[in-house]
Copies of this chain bind each other. A is one copy, B any other.
Amino acid sequence: MTETPAESPAESTEAMLARLRASFDRQGMMSTLGVEVTAAGRGRVEMALRHDDRFTQQHGFLHAGAVASVLDTACGYAAYSVMPPEAAVLTAAYTINLLAPAAGERFTITGEVVRAGRTLVVCRGEAFADGDTRPFAVMQATLTAVYNRPGISG
């Protein structure tokens, strides 16, 4: 879509990680789900989620919605990490494929930028159960950079 890559060369990685962390810490949903950021860099974020009976579907596995929430968030912050500091990030759309039930104790969830434009950033996410090397869920997400919208920052 948009051709000019989003870049923020003036911003240090440290400053970027600080604004990412500040935004993450404001998410009630991440705190409720008990999600941890286990790795973060420019264009890639990794998170961890644990099985919890409060977030199951009818067969006792983690609900797709819990997995999708963290995949979406990992993709969102991967996108946010390459946006200019003054941008806020919103999810425009995503597609999730669930390849197997979310069976396991601990889930590793990654988000990675595929390509960033001025407004739209496309990311890919993957979710892994315990030590599995094959993802049980994959996401393709479209994030938007929002500027100067009242009440929306970070």
Contacts and interface: CB of A to CB of B under 8 A. Distances in A.
Contacts of A98: 1, 90-93
A38 interface: no
Contact of A122 (B2, B31, B97): B97
A153 interface: yes
Nearest to A126: B114
A60 B95 CA distance: 23
A117 B114 CA distance: 24
B69 A1 contact: no
Interface string A96-137: 111111000000000000110101101010000000001110
Interface string A19-30: 000011011110
Contact of A93 (B90, B93, B151): B93
Interface stretch (A10-18, A40-48, A138-146): A138-146
Interface string A33-68: 000000000000000000011111111100111101
B63 A28 contact: yes
Nearest to A94: B96
A73 interface: yes
B96 A122 contact: no
Interface of A: 1-3, 23-24, 26-29, 31-32, 52-60, 63-66, 68-70, 72-73, 88, 90-101, 114-115, 117, 119-120, 122, 124, 134-136, 138-140, 142, 144, 149, 151-154
